[in-house]
Amino acid sequence: MTDQLDLNQLARNIKQWGQDLGFQQVGICDTDLSLEEPRLQAWLDKQYHGEMAWMARYGMLRARPHELLPGTLRVISVRMNYLPAEASFARTLNNPELGYISRYALGRDYHKLLRQRLKKLGDKIQMYCSEYSEGSDTHFRPFVDSAPIMERSLAVKAGLGWVGKHSLVLNRDAGSWFFLGELLIDLPLPVDKPLPEQCGRCVACMTICPTKAIVAPYVIDARRCISYLTIELQGAIPEEFRSLMGNRIYGCDDCQLICPWNRFSPITDEKAFNPRAQLHTPKLLDLFAWDEKTFLQMTEGSAIRRIGHLRWLRNISVALGNAAYQSSVVLALEKRRGLDPMLDEHIQWAIDQQLARRSAQAVKVQSAQTSRLIRTVEKGLPRDA
């Protein structure tokens, strides 16, 4: 089939079809990630993956996409912007009575949306190839952060950007506010060239991290990362990190917000990623009042639903413990006792923090790092201030 098929033209078509489907960029690379295997193993050996046992369970399979779909020759890597027009970074982080939710989770869950678009792209490729050879059978498989695959390494190989010191992919024109997706395919398409790393000596992301989770350039200790603590961690959040979490109740964007490249990030055109009203600058006490039925209703079709109601309350309890003292906060916490022993422990911690703050007549609840971050956002992202 490939003898009759102009692969260079097909590659150009694929990139155009991808843009027609809403992807801002499409790149192509081979499947060789052998250079990543020793780095991945060293990271796993240090237990930096925490409770994410699937990472160790799949091991080096993550660096071998050709084993996920036998016969795979190329990976088509795509990115889609998700930064909403009214992200309200500073407004939310600056008010300890509000809950900060990582901006990727404010709208519709991206997994299904990107996977559907990738499936359409694969179908388009299949149809195009079948026109050149009757009965031809091109195989593909879409991935969107849902299988053991090193999507960032593949995105870099495909020329979509470079990895910043915070381990996220950066792009000159888009910063890091974008989702990644992959289409594994058994066609020997021409590949794109990787871009050089362009962070230089900048370590802003490393110094701003509230919990010092970026333990070395390009290395994250997930066990310290607020995104891990609020999303992946099943049990109790270690006390040493609770006061550092501030009002971040689902994920954390600090390392992206401080990054100079994100001053150039475009606003998404995808309406599905616009913030839901109930999640946009929400009051902590309002969120804490949700029962499980309300939680499921309010998070339907959202990435937030995956953590469940119990961990949602756990995260908010910590944020309430970090808020300025209010008798209404203590009362709300008291009323939540008895649902679960793990949650009760977080509630008691939050009550203790509230009462200690009242006794000390303390009014400052914002860290110097968060204050610095807010000033940076207000200066670099005036549309958000």
Catalytic residues: 145
The answer to the question of whether 193 is labelled as a binding residue is no
Say how far apart CA 380 and CA 100 lie, in whole Å.
19
Confirm or deny that 259 is annotated as ligand binding: yes
- Beta bridge partner(s), residue 78: 26, 181
CB atoms within 10 A of CB 348: 15
Dump the DSSP string for 28-55: EE-S--TTHHHHHHHHHHTTTTTT-HHH
The reply to whether 136 sits in an annotated binding site is: no
Is the distance from CB of 136 to CB of 125 less than 8 angstroms?
A: no
Was 252 annotated as part of a binding site?
A: yes
Q: Is 145 annotated as a binding residue?
A: yes
225 in a known ligand binding site: yes
Amino acid at 338: G
Q: What is the dihedral of CA 158, 163, 167, 168, to 10 degrees?
A: -70
What is the rounded CA–CA span in Å between residue 191 and residue 157? 9
For residues 209 and 244, what is the distance between their CA atoms, to the nearest angstrom? 10
CA distance 265 to 381: 10
Tokens matching residue 255: 């390392």
Question: How far apart, in Å, do the first and last CA atoms of the chain sit?
Answer: 55
Judge whether 209 is annotated as a binding position.
yes
Strand partners, 62: none
> Binding site annotation covers 199?
yes
Residue 143 and residue 178 in contact, taking contact as beta carbons nearer than 8 Å: no
State yes or no: 227 annotated in a binding site. yes
Residue 245: count of CB within 10 angstroms of its CB: 21
Q: How far is CA 262 from CA 4, 259, 272, in A?
A: 44, 6, 21
Q: What residue numbers does the annotated binding site for [4Fe-4S] cluster cover?
A: 199, 202, 205, 209, 225, 252, 255, 259
Q: What residue numbers does the annotated binding site cover?
A: 62, 145, 169, 180, 199, 202, 205, 209, 225, 227, 252-253, 255, 259, 293
Q: What residue numbers does the annotated binding site for tRNA cover?
A: 293
